[in-house]
Amino acid sequence: MKNNLPAILLITLMLSLSFAGCLGGTSPEASDGTEVELGEPLDDWPTYHVASASNLPTCPGANDANLGKLYYVEDVTEFQACTSTGWTTIDISSSGSTTISLNHPPRITAQISAVDDDSHNFTAEWKYVGLAHWAAIDPEGESVTVGIDVDRDGTIDLNLNSSIGSSIVELPWNGSLQVAQITVEGERFLHLFRIFDVIAEDASGTNSTISVISPAIQHELLRDLYDSDDIASFTSTVPPMLNIPQADIDWVNG
C-alpha cells in the first residue's frame, strides 16, 4: 500500500489542475493584451435612414463627426457608409455576399478670367464679370452639378447650367479678393487677385472642389498692380481698394 501512495497523490494533483482552468482562470486575450468577450454580438453597428442620397449629411463631416456611420438610402434601396474619402456604397448581392464599391468624387477642371465691363459706374452695385470655362465628369457615370463658391465657405453662390460649358458670369464683388505684397527693383506694389472655389457634386452627394485663381479686375486694363500713388488716387473710388487691409496700405506707402 505504501508503494501505491505516491502514484495516487500524483493522479489526484493532475485531476485538480485540469479542473482549475474551468472553475477559475481569466478570459482569453488578444495579441495586444485586451480581453476577448466570447459570444459578443457583432450586429451593434447603428444604422440611420434617409429618404434619398441628397439627404445624406456631410461626410466625413466636421471633426469626422459622421465617419463610420451607416445609412440606408430609401429611394435607391442601398446602404452607404461614411469613409475618410466620402460616401461608400455597400452592395449586398443576391448570393448573400457583401461587396463594397467606392463612390469616387467627380473630376473637375475650371478657369475664370476677368473681362472688361463698361456697365459699371460709381453709384450702381459693382459685380465681378468673368468668362468661366469648366468641365466635370463622374467616374461612375452619375449626373453632375457644378457651381461657383465666391467666398469659399463651402456653399455654392452661383449654379452653372451644365456639367461642361462656358459662360459669362457675374459674381459678388467682395469676398474673393486677395492681396499680395510685391517688391520690384526696390519699388513696392500691391498685387490684387481673386480665388474662387468651383464645386462639382454627383447624384450620390459626393463632391470635389478646386480653387481657381483669377485677376482681380480686367487684367489688360489695370494689370492688378498698384503702387502708393495708385492707392492714393483710387482708394475713394475703386471698390477693390476698400477691401485692402490697412496693414497692406501702410506697407505700400513705405
Kindly report, residue by residue over 232-245, the tens digit of the pLDDT.
Answer: 777 666 666 667 88
Q: Does residue 63 carry a pLDDT above 60?
A: yes
Share of the chain above pLDDT 70, in %: 68
Q: Does residue 199 carry a pLDDT above 90?
A: yes
Q: Does residue 78 carry a pLDDT above 50?
A: yes
Q: Does residue 23 carry a pLDDT above 60?
A: no
Model confidence band, residue 39 (pLDDT cutoffs 50, 70, 90): very low
Name the residue range of residue 247's domain. 107-252
Does 225 or 108 have the greater pLDDT score? 108
Task: Please count the structural domains in the chain.
Answer: 2
Give yes or no: residues 98 and 141 share one domain.
Answer: no
Give yes or no: residues 194 and 122 share one domain.
Answer: yes
Cell matching residue 216 = 482681380
Give yes or no: residues 88 and 165 share one domain.
Answer: no
Quickly count: other Cβ atoms within 10 Å of residue 16's Cβ: 10
What is the Cα–Cα distance from 55 to 153, expressed in whole angstroms? 20
Q: Residue 35: inside a domain, yes or no?
A: no
Give yes or no: residues 112 and 88 share one domain.
Answer: no
Q: Residue 26: inside a domain, yes or no?
A: no
Q: Residue 121: inside a domain, yes or no?
A: yes
Please tell me the number of Cα atoms within 13 Å of 253 on its side-chain side: 10
Please tell me the number of Cα atoms within 13 Å of 216 on its side-chain side: 21
Give yes or no: residues 221 and 245 share one domain.
Answer: yes
Residues 221, 222, 224: CA angle, nearest 5 degrees: 135
AA identity, residue 232: A
Model confidence band, residue 70 (pLDDT cutoffs 50, 70, 90): confident
Rg (CA), the chain: 33
Q: Residue 32: inside a domain, yes or no?
A: no
pLDDT of residue 5: 53
Average pLDDT over residues 96-116: 77
pLDDT of residue 120: 52
